[in-house]
Structure 1
Amino acid sequence: MLSALLASLIDEIERTPGDSVTLRTMIERSGREGMLLVCALATLPFLIPVSIPGVSTVFGAAIVLLAGALFMNRLPWLPRRVLDRPLDTARLVPVLRKGAGLVGRVDHWLRPRWPAMTAGALRRLNCAAIVFGGLLLMAPLGPIPFSNTAPAVGILLLAVGLLQRDGLFVLLGYLGLGLSVAYFGVLGYLAWTGGTYLFG
C-alpha cells in the first residue's frame, strides 16, 4: 500500500540523527527505484495549510530534477544547494504524517488498470508532466491560497498513478495540473487588470 511506503520513509526521516533532515537523506533512504516515491512525498506538505519556510523551493526543485531524470531514463543529478539544505525535522515530520494520512484514504481505490497510460512513451510524457507541475510548485506565490496545493495534488496523482500503474489516477493528475494552470491564469489576469486599473 502506498500509505505504508510513505509511512516507512517518514519513519526513516524521523530516525535521522540531529534536528534537521536533507533531501539527500530522503533520496538515499528510498533508493533509485524510489524516485517517484520521493516525488509523492515532496507534495505532502502542500496538502494541508501549513507553511514551512524553504520547502516549496527545495521540494519543487527536487520534483523537477527527479522527474526529469526519469524522463531521460538516467540517474538524477541534483545541485548540492538543494540536496544539503537542512529542513527542520520537528516541523516537517508531523506535516508529512498528516499528508500521508490523507493519501491513505485513497489507498483502496488504487489498482493496476489502463496499463497503456503508464508504459512506453506515455510514461515519459507523464514524467514530463510531473516536471511541469514541479515548476508550478516553485512559483513564488506561497501566500496565495491553493497556489501550492493545486499543482501538488496534480503531481501526487501522477506519481501515485505511475507507482501503482493506475491509468485512472494518471488522468486525474492531468486534470489537477490543468486546473492549476487555469487557476494561475485567473491569478495572472486579475493581477494584470488590477495593475491596469491602478496605473492605466
Structure 2
Amino acid sequence: MLSQLLTSIIDDIHGDTITLRELLERCGREGMLMVCAIACLPFLIPVSIPGVSTVFGAAIVLLAFALFLDRLPWLPQRILDKGMDANKLKPVLHKGVNIVGKLERWLQSRMPALTTAAMQRFNSAVLVFGGLLLMAPLGLIPFSNTVPAVGILLLTVGMMQRDGIFVLLGYLGHMLTVVYFGVLAYLAWMGGTFVLS
C-alpha cells in the first residue's frame, strides 16, 4: 500500500532536521515520483512551515524535469542539504499520509492511455508546472499552497498507480490552481486600482 510505504520512509528519518537528500536516498532512483508525493504532504493541511514550499516546490520541478528527460535528476546542493525542522515537518507529513490512505480505496487501473510511456513526458511536464505553482510566493494567502499540492498529489499518485482517472483529476487540480491564482491577481489589481484612484 502506498500510504504504508510513505509512512515507512518518513519513520526511517531520525534527528532534529530533515533534508531532501535523506528522502532521495531512502526512495532511490525509482522513487522520484514518491519524493514528489512526499513533498506535497505538508501542504494538504492548513499549517505553514516557512521555507518548505520553496525547497519542496523546487525539488518537484527538478525531479519532474528529470522524468520528462528520462534521466537521473540533478539537484543543487543548497536544495539537497537544506535542513528543515523534523519536529514540525514529520507530524505534518504523517497527517498528509492519512489523506493518501483515504484516497487509496479509490485507486484502480483505469484509462491506461493516460499512463503509458508516451504520456509520461506530458504528465511530467504538467508536474513541472505544478511545482512552479507551488513555489509561487503566496504562502500567506489561504490555500495558495494547498490547491497546487492537491493537483500534484493526484497526478503523482495516478502516475505511480497507473490510474488515468487520478491523472485527469491532477490535470483538473492544476487548472483550478491557475483559475484561483488568476482570481487572486485580478483582486490584487482591482485593489491597487482602487487605492491609486
Same fold (TM over 0.5): yes
Question: After superposition, where does 1:48-127 map in structure 2 within 5 Å?
Answer: 48-127=45-124
Matched, 1:167 2:164: yes
User: After the TM superposition, which of the residue ranges 24-33 and 1-10 deviates more from structure 2?
Assistant: 1-10
Aligned position for 2:143: 146
> In the alignment, which residue of structure 1 is the partner of 2:174?
177
Q: Does 1:6 align with 2:6?
A: yes
Return the alpha-carbon distance in structure 2 between the equivalents of residues 164 and 185 of structure 1.
31
Q: Deviations over 1:116-157 (max 9, x none)?
A: 101133111011101000000000000100100000000000
- Residue by residue over 1:4-48, the C-alpha shift from the partner in whole angstroms, topping out at 9 and shown as x without a partner, is 1111111112xx3x3111000100100000000000000000000
RMSD value, Cα: 0.8
**AA of the residue aligned to 2:138:** L
Amino acid of the structure 2 residue aligned with 1:2: L
Aligned equivalents of 1:25 and 1:161: distance in 2?
24
| Equivalent position of 1:23 in the other structure | 20
AA aligned opposite 1:102: I
Structure 1 segments unaligned to the other structure (5+ residues): none
Equivalent-residue separation in structure 2 for 1:144 and 1:11 (angstroms) = 31
Q: Distance in 2 between matches of 1:5 and 1:114?
A: 25
Equivalences, count = 197
1:39 is matched with 36
How far apart, CA to CA, are the structure 1 residues paired with 2:5 and 2:159? Answer: 14
Per the alignment, residue 189 of structure 1 pairs with 186
Amino acid at match of 1:93: K
Q: Secondary structure at the match of 1:98?
A: helix
Q: Output the CA distance in 1 between the equivalents of 2:117 and 2:96.
A: 30
Query: Which stretch of structure 1 is more off in the superposition, 101-110 or 155-164?
Result: 101-110
Q: Secondary structure at the match of 1:52?
A: coil
The 3-state SS of whatever aligns with 1:36 is: helix
Identity of aligned residues (%): 69
